[in-house]
Amino acid sequence: MAKQGETSYMHPGLNKPGAIPLFDLPTLRASLSDKYDLAPSPEIAAELSHIYDRMSRVVTPADWAIYAPYVKAINALKKERNAVILGHNYMTPEIYHGISDFGGDSLQLAIKATEVEADVIVQCGVHFMAETSKILSPEKTVLMPDMEAGCSLAESITAEGVEEMRRRYPGAPVVTYVNTTAEVKAASDICCTSSNAAQIVAAQDSDTVIMTPDQYLAQNVAKEVPQKNIVWWEGSCIVHEQYSAKDLRDFREWNPGTRLIAHPECPPDVVAEADFSGSTSGIIKYVTDEKPEKALLITECSMASNISDQLPEVDFVGPCNMCPFMKKITLEKVLYALDTMTGQVEVDPSVADKARLSVQRMIDLSHQLGI
């Protein structure tokens, strides 16, 4: 059992004895090349130039000629399968702009999963997001292009961990970040995302509120909601925990005039140094509204890439951190998943029923609060 303070970065499916990888890359490539001509093509690149225009600042023409045949094949297959692709804001530009029908943060994608009419959802993001879509739309086929796309937060806690917190703080409601497995959601009272966490916590009818599993999100919310006694599990995001307040201070000193914008999964002293903190979509909205001359996004690298073309007046500067889990999703894996319908996400119906209550309570409360 994961204990408070312990983290492991493996996807649970891979820890299970006898678990086998969904596919291996040579097999995948051989299977695709039997059916599709995926050689780099300047002709297809030119034909899809209207798509390329959304990423021309960050993707070279030579790379686009490599991606374009995949983009064309995936977009055709989507129609055949009556599929939609939900792309998280951390997807690479060729996925985010090339093949996604909807892009967004965790909350937006969870809500979109309930609204789309399609038979198939392809989740371009990480495993917990696909599970959330399946929980909300059990009748749909949900495909995960790579089952190894996990999340350090989701790995940090099990349902037993939630029960341990309930024993420690009897009667306190459990507000669980969506970055968790279905079992953990099922053991919780309500979910939250980074875009509604403070409001969800503030709305709980209890002085003490348990937040799992992100210690930093909890500590950031505690500052925003001082009327609550917030206690937390000690999970963390391997991408955002790497930033330090000193990094930000040094950057500001050496690059005056840069707007620093941090995700709330960063430690609180990092958030305190930033000019703004918000969910991935909150960050996009802030930069779009404010249009600072120079911006440093203290979050995953693809965020700046994905908004670069729509904001030519903003110079995105400085370092970023890559999420190794999000980066497991590639065009060729998406094409393979859709072509062979592999990577179907299943959630035990009895777990899904309980988990749905936690997710639906969050969606309903968010609507009620106008978030």
Q: Which stretch binds ligand SF4 (CB under 6 A): 115-123, 151-159, 290-298, 312-320?
A: 151-159
Asked if 181 is part of the footprint of ligand 13P (rule: CB under 6 A), the reply reads no
Asked if 237 is part of the footprint of ligand 13P (rule: CB under 6 A), the reply reads yes
Of 300, 339, 356, 358, which one interacts with ligand SF4 (CB under 6 A)?
300
Q: Give the nearer residue to ligand SF4 in terms of CB position, either 102 or 169.
A: 102
Asked if 281 is part of the footprint of ligand SF4 (rule: CB under 6 A), the reply reads no
Residue 236 interaction partner, one of ligand 13P, ligand SF4, none, beta carbon < 5-8 Å per kind: none
Of 92, 194, 236, 277, which one interacts with ligand 13P (CB under 6 A)?
194
Q: What is the 3-state secondary structure (H, E, C) of the chain?
A: CCCCCCCCCCCHHHHCCCCCCCCCHHHHHHHHHHHCCCCCCHHHHHHCHHHHCCCCCCCCHHHHHHHHHHHHHHHHHHHHHCEEEEEECCCCHHHHCCCCCEEECHHHHHHHHHHCCCCEEEEECCHHHHHHHHHHCCCCEEECCCCCCCCHHHHCCCHHHHHHHHHHCCCCCEEEECCCCHHHHHCCCEEECCCCHHHHHHCCCCCEEEEECEHHHHHHHHHHCCCCEEEECCECCCCHHHCCHHHHHHHHHHCCCEEEEECCCCCHHHHHHCCEECCHHHHHHHHHHHCCCEEEEECECHHHHHHHCCCCCCEECCCCECCCCHHHCCHHHHHHHHHHCCCECCCCHHHHHHHHHHHHHHHHHHHHCCC
Of 91, 266, 274, 326, which one interacts with ligand SF4 (CB under 6 A)?
326
Site for ligand 13P in 47-106 (CB under 6 A): 89, 105-106
Site string for ligand 13P, 259-278 (x = CB under 6 A): ----x-x-------------
Asked if 239 is part of the footprint of ligand SF4 (rule: CB under 6 A), the reply reads yes
Site for ligand SF4 in 164-203 (CB under 6 A): 179
Site for ligand SF4 in 19-38 (CB under 6 A): none
The CB-of-41 to ligand SF4 minimum distance in angstroms stands at: 32
Asked if 238 is part of the footprint of ligand SF4 (rule: CB under 6 A), the reply reads yes
For ligand SF4, the binding residues (CB under 6 A) are 126, 151-153, 179, 237-239, 265, 300, 323, 325-326
